[in-house]
Every structure is written in structure tokens, then in C-alpha cells.
């Protein structure tokens, strides 16, 4: 599993994603109730981030209902129906910091205050996705019912 996590982080770095500024949040139970960006996410932008091989890289591990994207991963749970299984607050935490829910997850925290070891200096202490990008992804995931 560590190899998969290292591979994912290497792929994120190689994809040219830019480091973002961390925006703090409060975990309440098994979710983050308040939007990270202070604004609603855009589901269309969220879908584009999930599908992007340069931004989220979600399809590296997760299959998703994005039929035009070939070669979707099967290492992680499928995203179809995820909006019916989890609340928006739960989705937000699972994207921002999945290890708060499952400490053994190899999915990186896309907006967590730190990263596992072996990341480039430009990533140290910085999230992979901006707060707005997380909100966009969450908005799209919430539509998957």
C-alpha cells in the first residue's frame, strides 16, 4: 500500500499540479460541515478536476461515471452513487483528509495540513487542491446519487 501511495504522490508531482495554500477547517464527527472556500462548489468544475490527469488524478484509483475517460483505476471504491452514501460534510472530509476517517487509506489528503514523507519541497505542508477545488469536487460527488 505504501508503494501505491508513493506512486500516487509521484504522479501528482509529475502531473505539474501547483501547490496551494492551506485553509483551516473544523472536523465535526465524521465530516467537515462548513465549506472550505466559504462558497458553494461548482459541480461542472468538480467533474473536470476528477477527470483531469493533471489535477485531481482521482481516476488513477477510482472508477467514476465519466464514460469518455478511459483507463479508470480499480484500486479504490467506485464513485458512482457516492452522493447517496455520504452527506456533503462526509464527502468533504473524505476528499480533504481521508486518513481522518481511515488511517490506513493510501489516498492522499487533497487539502490536509501535511503530507506523508517523500514529497518535493514545493509540496511540504501544502495541500494538493485548493479549498475551492475541494468544494468543486465535493459538489460534483454530491450529484452522484
Highest mean pLDDT among 3-7, 9-13, 77-81: 77-81
Q: What is the CA radius of gyration of the chain?
A: 14
Select from 2.130.10.10, 1.10.760.10, 1.20.1090.10, 3.40.50.720 the CATH code of 2-143: 1.10.760.10
Look-up: residue for cell 508503494? 3
User: So what's the pLDDT on residue 115?
Assistant: 58
pLDDT of residue 128: 87
Range 42-68 average pLDDT: 96
pLDDT value of residue 114: 67
Determine the pLDDT at residue 72.
97
Domain boundaries of the chain, sorted by first residue: 2-143
How many angstroms separate the CA atoms of 50 and 47, rounded?
5
pLDDT at residue number 75 = 95
Q: Sign of the CA dihedral 12, 13, 14, 18?
A: positive
| Higher local confidence (pLDDT), 106 or 6 | 106
Is the whole model's pTM more than 0.85, yes or no?
Answer: no
Q: Give the Å distances, CA to CA, from 98 to 55, 63, 116, 117.
A: 18, 17, 13, 16
How many angstroms separate the CA atoms of 130 and 21, rounded? 7
Average pLDDT over residues 51-77: 95
Identify which of 15-19, 21-25, 66-70, 108-112 has the greatest average pLDDT: 66-70
Q: 23 vs 63, which has greater pLDDT?
A: 63
Return the pLDDT at 144: 99
pLDDT recorded at residue 37? 82
pLDDT of residue 108: 87
Amino acid at each position: 500500500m505504501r508503494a501505491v501511495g508513493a506512486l500516487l504522490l509521484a504522479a501528482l508531482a509529475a502531473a505539474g499540479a501547483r501547490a496551494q495554500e492551506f485553509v483551516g477547517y473544523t472536523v465535526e464527527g465524521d465530516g467537515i460541515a462548513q465549506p472550505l472556500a466559504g462558497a458553494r462548489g461548482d459541480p461542472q468544475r468538480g467533474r473536470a478536476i476528477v477527470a483531469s490527469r493533471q489535477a485531481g488524478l482521482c481516476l488513477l484509483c477510482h472508477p467514476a461515471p465519466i464514460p469518455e475517460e478511459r483507463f479508470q483505476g480499480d484500486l479504490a471504491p467506485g464513485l458512482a452513487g457516492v452522493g447517496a452514501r455520504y452527506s456533503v460534510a462526509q464527502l468533504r472530509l473524505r476528499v480533504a483528509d481521508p486518513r481522518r476517517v481511515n488511517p490506513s487509506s493510501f489516498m492522499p489528503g487533497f487539502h490536509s495540513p501535511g503530507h506523508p514523507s517523500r514529497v518535493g519541497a514545493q509540496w511540504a505542508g501544502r495541500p494538493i487542491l485548493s479549498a475551492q477545488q475541494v468544494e468543486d469536487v465535493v459538489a460534483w460527488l454530491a450529484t452522484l446519487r
